[in-house]
Structure 1
Amino acid sequence: MAGKKITVVISQAPGRNPTKRNLEEELAAALLVESDVDVSLVPHLNDLTADHSGLLFLKGVPGDMVVLSWLFPRAARWILDRNGVKGQLGTSLLKPADEDEEAGTEAERAEESRPNAIGALNAPKRKIYCIDLRDQNDPRVVLDEIRRIAREATVQTVDLDLMSWIGGSPAPAQMQRYLNPFAPNGAPAVPANGHTPVAAPNGANRIHSSPFGLINGADLTGLPATPASGPAADDALRRRWYPIIDYSRCTNCMACIDFCLFGVYGVDAQDRILVEQQDNCKKGCPACSRVCPENAIIFPEHKTPAIAGADVERDANFKIDLSKLFGAPTAIEVAAAERDQELLNDGREAVGLSVGIPKRRTEQPQQRDQLDDLMDDLDKLGL
């Protein structure tokens, strides 16, 4: 009888930080001996290109999946969705060290209570769990959470009786490769998606693409290195900067396409907003995220958590900022300045607030925030 299994993907941190690499290695070594887990390594999610073998592998995962990355879970989820790796949001019990349980619950309710959001298209019933490795230094905590998720997984793996789901009319050679994935000498007959199937200690087949020769005493030097992950891949992959749309928040208001003057955004056949020319985006410029009224545009590499995909609202964890009391620029003004700088860098003219700022933003009263409440309280004191 087929057992329940879940795929765990470790998305490696960019660069060669030894602390991060060590955590990745410890997790990979421990997961290799788990009977109900298939584990694989891929490069940093944000840097994967459409034809990269790591992304091709992710698209081929059929069931529930746990993605361990060095990104906010919200950012990781929508990077995957943008690249065709779709699924329902899986809930992880791991939270950042500085986040209390009530805050996490409020964030989950906020996503569920957005009736005007257009949502993701064609998301299958399988679940994708995204875990931020920056939240935990102890691999045992992450492993315990993965085991918990694996116990709850509902996807059944199939036995070697593939005839029940192979469709079409495969050629005899193709059918033979399906039914006999291993050559007589025990070596894999055909690598799949750039990843080499490896016989696990318990006899289960699991995918592994580690470039490491030795992981915590486990000798992996017999495995061929693949272009999917590792230091060599870090050197080959260039760092990328482009916006990700969170469709669980996006209302298709088109504020981003009106504001951006670099041709980054477009619309699909259903007239839904999408990132059409991501390489046109100006590195380091998050201006369109600042003008989005729903905080639905994510730049995973930005230093500001709310822009990088932290699951918070713009006014969450509000702190008194005296600069706001003395006429500091608004988010819209900052965005316009950032856009003007990029226009000037391209030899074009600055446009300020004259282009891409809907008149309704200035004609209608702005929604009250906590700063307004603070000012009203100060007025009542008669100071």
Structure 2
Amino acid sequence: MSRKVTVVLSQAPGKNPAKRSLEESIAAALLFEPGVDVSIVPNLYDLGPDHTGRMFLEGLGGDVIVLSWLYPRAAFWLLDRDGIKGHFGETQLKPPGDDDEEEPEEVGEKPSAIGPSGAIPDRHIYTLDLRDFNKPEPYLTEVRRIVAECQDRRAKKAAEKAATAAPVIVQLGLLTKPPQEFAPDQLLAPAGRRWYPVIDYSRCTNCLECLDFCLFGVYGVDAFDRIITENQDQCKKGCPACSRVCPQQAIIFPEYKSAAIAGGEGATVGGLKIDLSKLFGGGDAADPLAAAVAERDRELVADGRAAVGTTVGLPKRQTGTAGPKDDLDKLVDDLDSLGL
């Protein structure tokens, strides 16, 4: 495991001077921090498999702190889908105003998520959102706290290992290949803009509704019948329709304008957070399902295909077919029983 904590600063797309200034201020300050290695890469979401920035990230060992212009949940699962795995590192950095907001109420019992696939390395990945503050100090303070946390955890594990160490057996073997090194200008090679879904496997229950709904071949299943984004670059730019039909809000489009779809915590697409005024004829908020169908039809027509409306790939509840009732069904039944 690496003795230093790697801090990766992911640049914002575009050339916004205020964002560049914040990135440069943080990077310059961290260059002098003990126990830290600092690297800068382009926007995480745009890094393709052949980009040097992506290959650099794949070769990292040890704990990692990522500062990006994405929600922390989105950044973590984006890294996971790219094979950069680890345990989710809890941070204490909260955007202004978060302390005043009420915690969202839990509705019913959540279905079990399938969780990440493969072996998870013995390290933590911390993700910080550069949109939370417009000055470097809060980020520098949190990086220092995380570095100290990682050092303490590493020291405790070393002590435990030493206490239970078996006799040392010296073996001769082949030297391991050193990690590939990249020059800073290689890491910052321009990356083309991309658009594709990211699956949060801490929420995904493998219901496959996204696979049924998407008609562009984006989704598939792996050898274990787990949902994956199989052909992510076939996704239609700006279309988040599959995210709207996901019952667990497990599908993230990190750069979408809505926090619920972009990976924000506590935000909802529409699911069980019901505006009761809509049930009684008030309100004018768009139905997430109707929006999803409209978005999908628009892209089908743009592809020269016929629109399908609500005839293909809708969740069981919306098609009226028999299926186990969830909390929304129970709420509607309760309202019916009251004669309202």
Q: Structure 1-normalised TM-score?
A: 0.73
Query: Does the Cα contact within 8 Å between 1:90 and 1:128 map onto a contact in 2?
Result: yes
Q: Report the Cα distance in structure 1 between the residues aligned to 2:68 and 2:171, rounded to whole angstroms.
A: 33
Q: Report the Cα distance in structure 2 between the residues aligned to 1:115 and 1:165, rounded to whole angstroms.
A: 49
Closer, same or farther in 2 for the Cα pair 1:169/1:3, shift >3 Å? closer
2:231 is aligned to 277
2:163 is aligned to none
1:302 is aligned to 256
Closer, same or farther in 2 for the Cα pair 1:167/1:99, shift >3 Å? farther
2:5 equivalent to 1:6: yes
2:112 is aligned to 116
Consecutive aligned runs of 4 or more in structure 1 exceeding 4 Å deviation: 101-104, 164-168, 315-324, 326-329
Q: CA deviation at 1:281?
A: 0.3
- Note the 1:5-154 alignment, pairs <5 A: 5-100=4-99, 116-121=112-117, 122-153=119-150, 154=153
Q: What secondary structure, in the 3-state scheme, does the structure 1 residue paired with 2:78 have?
A: helix
- Which consecutive unaligned segments of at least 5 residues does structure 1 have? 159-163, 179-190, 196-208, 210-225
Q: Report the Cα distance in structure 2 between the residues aligned to 1:115 and 1:132, rounded to whole angstroms.
A: 28
- Give per-residue Cα distances to partners, 1:186-232, cap 9 Å, x unaligned: xxxxx94423xxxxxxxxxxxxx2xxxxxxxxxxxxxxxx1312xxx
1:228 is aligned to 187
Closer, same or farther in 2 for the Cα pair 1:117/1:165, shift >3 Å? farther
Closer, same or farther in 2 for the Cα pair 1:99/1:291, shift >3 Å? same
Q: What secondary structure, in the 3-state scheme, does the structure 2 residue paired with 1:116 have?
A: coil
Quick one: which amino acid aligns to residue 169 of structure 1?
L
Query: Does the Cα contact within 8 Å between 1:5 and 1:38 map onto a contact in 2?
Result: yes
Closer, same or farther in 2 for the Cα pair 1:320/1:166, shift >3 Å? farther
Q: CA deviation at 1:366?
A: 6.0
Q: What secondary structure, in the 3-state scheme, does the structure 2 residue paired with 1:78 have?
A: helix
Quick one: which amino acid aligns to residue 247 of structure 1?
Y
Q: Which deviates more, 117-126 or 356-365?
A: 356-365
Q: Report the Cα distance in structure 1 between the residues aligned to 2:271 and 2:205, rounded to whole angstroms.
A: 21
Query: Does the Cα contact within 8 Å between 1:67 and 1:130 map onto a contact in 2?
Result: yes
Q: Report the Cα distance in structure 1 between the residues aligned to 2:64 and 2:148, rounded to whole angstroms.
A: 13
Quick one: which amino acid aligns to residue 116 of structure 1?
S
1:367 is aligned to 327
Q: CA deviation at 1:312?
A: 1.8
1:169 is aligned to 174
Q: What secondary structure, in the 3-state scheme, does the structure 2 residue paired with 1:266 have?
A: strand
Calculate the aligned-residue CA RMSD, in Å: 3.5
Query: Does the Cα contact within 8 Å between 1:53 and 1:193 map onto a contact in 2?
Result: no
- Which consecutive unaligned segments of at least 5 residues does structure 2 have? 159-168
1:240 is aligned to 194
Q: CA deviation at 1:125?
A: 2.4
2:204 is aligned to 250
Q: Report the Cα distance in structure 2 between the residues aligned to 1:3 and 1:366, rounded to whole angstroms.
A: 46
Q: What secondary structure, in the 3-state scheme, does the structure 2 residue paired with 1:227 have?
A: helix
2:222 is aligned to 268
Q: What secondary structure, in the 3-state scheme, does the structure 2 residue paired with 1:8 have?
A: strand
Q: What secondary structure, in the 3-state scheme, does the structure 2 residue paired with 1:149 have?
A: helix
The alignment covers a number of residue pairs equal to 317
Q: Report the Cα distance in structure 1 between the residues aligned to 2:292 and 2:285, rounded to whole angstroms.
A: 13
